[in-house]
A and B are shown apart, each in its own frame.
Chain A
Amino acid sequence: MNVIKYELLKLRSKSRGWLGPILVFILIMVAFPLTVEISNKDLGQSFFSVLWIAMLLVMMLATEDIFLEDYNDGSLEQFAISNINMSYLVAAKIFIYWLLIGVPISILGSLFCLGITNSTHLAIHILPILLVTSYIFINVFSFGNALSLTKGSVLGTLVTLPLLLPLLIVLGKVVISINLNLNYLGFVGLLLGVLSIIIFIIPLIISYIIRAHLE
């Protein structure tokens, strides 16, 4: 529990770390309707593409130095020799990033959805999808950043980005299903299935990667 408390204290104190990505997200979502000369109806159709891509980019940005700071200042060394399980630390870190960045962005995404599509039904149904998706994105980008911990975050991100392409296809199908009032719970189940696997596997893999970097 202490690990979660301290990770929360660290990220909360570093406003650039959590507020920056949220502001970038707002900027993209506000700029989108300003930069296209199309009707409200067309705007609603292309809105979700922009929403998913904005979320993808912002999560990429948010996790840029998720482990780098702790690596540079020696905190990871201290964790490695302590009795605390490294994969637990990684999972806690990812959870805090999701809580302070993923959750607000998901709520904002749902609000933007309401503002642009004028559909309460869509805005309510998209919120859980956004919450699950943001958690998956943070996990996958954290894995990428751990891979390229000492080589810059871009390399790791580029390696992991293709892993998310199937997810983007599923997200497109979800929006179509919600729009056509079809049953989309199967897709939600799929997303939750993916999340329930990576939520355990990725922290474990990252902990091994970090130990390899420390050597």
Chain B
Amino acid sequence: MYPKVKATNLSYKINEKKLFQNISFELFSGSAIHIQGDNGSGKTTLLKIICGLTRQVKGNLELKLDKKVCFLGHKNALKQYLTVEENLSLLGVNDHPDLSKHLIQFGLNKSLDINLSSLSFGQQKKIALLRVFLNDSDLLVLDEPCVGLDQQSQEYLCTFINNELTLGKSILFSSHISLDINSEALNLSS
């Protein structure tokens, strides 16, 4: 069985300051890796390297994916001046059959015609998370997905991720909040 992601001795530095060195891991189908580390240890950078947004300084990265990566970063990629419905259309999930189920769960089903700027930070995060909930990917890359979410939504996200793992998807995530997800830990601080 081939790993979906195989990283060998990945290193990254900014202006001679080493963020992380010789990071190696393999991520198989149906498994998750929780990237841990202090602030500034390079968690976001590592996730961006895996998404292909940034290049490692040293090391080798192999991805064996049939579909595109689903990435949720610190930025939500939502437009404040558009309504929730228009933003869902931009995300390309407005016609998804499971959309209403998640909207009801997040209590956003009656907010479709509201401008995104009128929603709270947590509600905006929930809209951004719909990209993850309605993904069509082999690999989910989530950077601090629980920031701004209430307890109930965090649990809903964890249940969803655990369910995705049983469906054979691979997940890489970073989180300072302890999450009930079946995952291995990869610590960048050590």
Contacts and interface: CB of A to CB of B under 8 A. Distances in A.
Interface stretch (A49-57, A73-81, A109-117): A73-81
Contact of A74 (B68, B75, B80): B75
A205 B78 CA distance: 26
Is the interface on chain A under 10, 10 to 19, 20 to 34, or 35 or more residues? 10 to 19
Interface of chain B: mostly helix, strand, loop or mixed: loop
Given A81-B52, A83-B68, A10 B79 contact: yes
B61 to A, nearest CB: 14
A183 interface: no
B79 A73 contact: yes
Interface in A47-88: 69, 72-75, 77-78, 80-83
Contact of A78 (B54, B77, B79, B81): B77
Contact of A75 (B69, B77, B89): B77
Central interface residue in B51, B68, B75, B82, by most chain A CB within 10 Å? B75
A214 interface: yes
B177 interface: no
Nearest to A70: B77
Interface of B: 51-55, 68-69, 71, 73-82, 86, 89-90, 92
14 contacts: A6-B90, A9-B89, A9-B90, A10-B90, A13-B81, A69-B79, A73-B77, A73-B80, A74-B76, A77-B71, A78-B77, A81-B53, A81-B69, A215-B53
